[in-house]
């Protein structure tokens, strides 16, 4: 049982969240989404502090987003260690704050499998849409300082949101058409009323003097009444706000078009090392101007080293390369967001501000010094700085870390529109699928192009059905187990093992 009633959550005297009622009546997995700074972590801390009141028990586990660093472990190893310890406790309610951070795809899949088998309520804040699609029964979206509940996974949430946007657009179109019609009709009636007592000619004037004037006065009054009634209808018309429309971005392609379709990166059976350690053996890679390429592989396989190798190899060429990495050394902390970008921009301020607005940095925020911006904002500034520069090639190493889902989707659209060459490293599978034309993977010290044959996979379909049924059985068992349920659970586990091993 989980229930929040009439909660007001303030931060430094400012209202961050107002929650009327939130409840979970059965075992399920909730995905909590919202923009950076909207209150996801604050909500988790509130739930954990008030766990006795909200959950009626102390069996609640919080896995924080910021974890204590272990110098002997990588970021992925440290994250997995935290998750293993927490999952082992079998808490009745688990709060997981960005649990996939630093995890490679293999470990993300490990976490998905663990969560599906884990009984109890799970509330997970995440920006990984593929991950959410695999585990979520329900979406909690932080909107307008409140929480709106959507059934299903992220794909279902997007479908509902798209319908909402389409409905808002239709309502606004109908509103503007009706308003325009009424305004035109009022103007027409007012004009007719003003002209009704004006004689058209001498004969008409004589006719009015013979006693017809009261008739025209009455007609004028009636028209004024109709016009007044229309004005009232116009004033009472429910106002519909115009839905937000993104301004289009026109990238400068002159310096990119000069490159044509020629090969700009070429590796021919080259070995890639880091500190004399061989990471990639005999790498072959041919990349043409304008291609969008993704590179994947387990943590430590050599993805970043490959990017460094390419940058060093072509450093003396005329090729202009922009390299995004998490250190963000190219930003000047004492300068504003706008100054940092305009310093190397080949675009005017209006275009730069349009691109920043796409990533939710607008208005006076562009004048904030970089020194006081959040980690997510700095990532956005660095990305915009690179895309607005004269660079014809972008190397993007995990650009979506610290970005919320809405910003990731905006970035996807910008990358698809970008005419230059892009190489990216990302553990975000959906992000890669949406922006890359081709994907290469590093495995067992070999760099290979991924060639996927998409089609119906009966084994995967059956595995999904079994995992769904396992979740349902675990939900029932959490309320009280029986011999029949235990037998079915064991049978399902055997079926899953047979499919996994096949």
> Which residue segment(s) compose the domain that 238 sits in?
173-198+209-245
Residue 230 CA to residue 209 CA, distance in Å, equals 32
| Of residues 481 and 492, more confidently modeled | 492
Q: What pLDDT score does 349 carry?
A: 95
pLDDT confidence of 454, banded at 50, 70, 90?
Answer: very low
pLDDT confidence of 9, banded at 50, 70, 90?
Answer: very high
Percentage of the chain beyond pLDDT 70 is 89
Tens of pLDDT, residue by residue over 151-163, are: 999 999 999 999 9
Q: Is residue 373 domain-shared with residue 439, that is, in the same domain?
A: yes
What is the tally of structural domains in the chain?
4
pLDDT confidence of 67, banded at 50, 70, 90?
Answer: low
Q: Is residue 144 domain-shared with residue 238, that is, in the same domain?
A: no
Q: Is residue 267 domain-shared with residue 194, that is, in the same domain?
A: no
pLDDT confidence of 122, banded at 50, 70, 90?
Answer: very high
Q: Is residue 345 domain-shared with residue 272, that is, in the same domain?
A: yes
Q: What pLDDT score does 374 carry?
A: 84
Q: Say if CB 221 and CB 189 are below 8 A apart.
A: no
Instruction: For residue 390, tell me if it sits in a domain.
Output: yes
Helix (H) or strand (E) holding 305: helix 303-313
Instruction: Tally Cβ neighbours within 10 Å of residue 91.
Output: 22
Q: Is residue 257 domain-shared with residue 223, that is, in the same domain?
A: no
Can you spell out the DSSP letters for 89-100?
TT-SEEEEESTT
Read off the CATH number of the domain in which 138 is found: 3.40.50.300
Instruction: For residue 298, tell me if it sits in a domain.
Output: yes
Residue 243 CA to residue 169 CA, distance in Å, equals 6
Instruction: For residue 204, tell me if it sits in a domain.
Output: no
Q: Is residue 438 domain-shared with residue 467, that is, in the same domain?
A: no
Whether the pLDDT of residue 71 is over 70: the answer is no
Residue 292 CA to residue 297 CA, distance in Å, equals 17
Tens of pLDDT, residue by residue over 250-274, are: 787 666 777 888 899 999 999 999 9
Q: Is residue 230 domain-shared with residue 115, that is, in the same domain?
A: no
How far is C-alpha 478 from the geometric centre of its chain's CA atoms? 33
Tell me what the mean pLDDT of segment 20-30 comes to: 92
Whether the pLDDT of residue 395 is over 90: the answer is yes
Q: Is residue 444 domain-shared with residue 491, that is, in the same domain?
A: no
Instruction: For residue 160, tell me if it sits in a domain.
Output: no
Which positions ≥6 away from 481 have C-beta within 8 Å? none
Instruction: For residue 128, tell me if it sits in a domain.
Output: yes
Q: What pLDDT score does 215 carry?
A: 66
Tell me what the mean pLDDT of segment 181-193 comes to: 88
Q: What pLDDT score does 47 carry?
A: 94
Q: E-strand spans in 289-373?
A: 292-296, 321-324
Q: Say if CB 196 and CB 223 are below 8 A apart.
A: yes
pLDDT confidence of 459, banded at 50, 70, 90?
Answer: low
Instruction: For residue 157, tell me if it sits in a domain.
Output: no
Which positions ≥6 away from 175 have C-beta within 8 Å? 237, 238, 239, 240
Helix-, strand-, coil-residue percentages of the chain, each rounded to 5: 45, 20, 30
Q: Is residue 231 domain-shared with residue 257, that is, in the same domain?
A: no
Whether the pLDDT of residue 57 is over 70: the answer is yes
Instruction: For residue 92, tell me if it sits in a domain.
Output: yes
pLDDT confidence of 189, banded at 50, 70, 90?
Answer: confident
Q: Is residue 216 domain-shared with residue 350, that is, in the same domain?
A: no
| Of residues 401 and 139, more confidently modeled | 139
How far is C-alpha 128 from the geometric centre of its chain's CA atoms? 9
Instruction: For residue 416, tell me if it sits in a domain.
Output: yes
| Average pLDDT over all residues of the chain | 87
pTM, rounded to two decimals: 0.77
Q: What pLDDT score does 455 carry?
A: 44
Q: Is residue 139 domain-shared with residue 28, that is, in the same domain?
A: yes
Q: Is residue 236 domain-shared with residue 259, that is, in the same domain?
A: no
Where among 450, 477, 493 does a domain terminate?
A: 450
């Amino acid at each position: 049982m989980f229930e929040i009633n009439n909660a007001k959550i303030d931060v430094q005297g400012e209202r961050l969240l107002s929650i009327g009622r939130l409840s979970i009546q059965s075992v399920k997995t909730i995905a909590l989404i919202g923009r950076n700074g909207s209150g996801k972590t604050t909500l988790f801390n509130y739930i954990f502090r008030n766990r006795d009141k909200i959950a009626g028990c102390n069996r609640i586990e919080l896995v924080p987003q910021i974890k204590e660093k272990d110098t002997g472990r990588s970021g992925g190893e440290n994250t997995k260690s935290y998750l293993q310890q927490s999952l082992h406790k079998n808490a009745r309610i688990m709060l997981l704050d960005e649990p996939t951070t630093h995890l490679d795809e293999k470990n993300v899949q490990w976490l998905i499998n663990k969560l599906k088998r884990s009984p109890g309520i799970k509330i997970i804040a995440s920006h990984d849409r593929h991950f959410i699609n695999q585990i979520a029964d329900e979406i909690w979206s932080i909107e307008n300082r409140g929480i709106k509940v959507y059934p299903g996974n992220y794909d279902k949430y997007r479908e509902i949101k798209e319908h909402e946007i389409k409905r808002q657009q239709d309502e606004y179109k109908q509103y503007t058409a009706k308003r325009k019609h009424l305004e035109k009709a009022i103007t027409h009636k007012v004009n007719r009323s003003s002209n009704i007592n004006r004689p058209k000619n001498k004969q008409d004037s004589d006719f009015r003097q013979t006693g017809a004037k009261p008739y025209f006065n009455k007609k004028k009054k009636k028209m004024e009444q109709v016009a007044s009634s229309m004005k009232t209808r116009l004033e009472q018309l429910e106002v519909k706000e115009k839905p937000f429309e993104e301004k289009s971005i026109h990238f400068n392609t002159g310096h990119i078009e000069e490159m044509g379709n020629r090969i700009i990166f070429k590796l021919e059976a080259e070995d890639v090392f880091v500190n004399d350690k061989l990471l990639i053996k005999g790498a072959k890679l041919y990349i043409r101007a304008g291609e969008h390429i993704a590179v994947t592989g387990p943590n430590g396989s050599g993805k970043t080293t490959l990017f460094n190798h390419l940058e060093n190899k072509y450093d003396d060429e005329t090729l202009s390369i922009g390299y995004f990495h998490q250190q963000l050394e190219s930003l000047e902390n004492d300068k504003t967001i706008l100054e940092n970008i305009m310093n190397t921009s080949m675009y005017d301020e209006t275009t730069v501000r349009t691109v920043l607005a796409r990533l939710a940095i607008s208005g006076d925020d562009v004048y904030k010094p970089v020194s006081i911006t959040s980690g997510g904002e700095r990532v956005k500034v660095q990305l915009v700085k690179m895309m607005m520069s004269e660079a014809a090639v972008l190397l993007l190493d995990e650009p979506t870390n610290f970005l919320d889902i809405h910003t990731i989707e905006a970035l996807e659209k910008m990358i698809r529109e970008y005419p230059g060459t892009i190489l990216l490293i990302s553990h975000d599978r959906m992000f890669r699928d949406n922006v890359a034309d081709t994907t290469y993977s590093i495995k067992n010290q070999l760099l290979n192009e991924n060639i996927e044959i998409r089609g119906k996979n009966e084994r995967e379909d059956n595995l999904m059905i079994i995992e769904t049924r396992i979740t349902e059985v675990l939900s029932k068992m959490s309320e009280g187990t029986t011999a029949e349920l235990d037998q079915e659970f064991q049978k399902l586990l055997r079926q899953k093992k047979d499919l996994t091993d096949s």
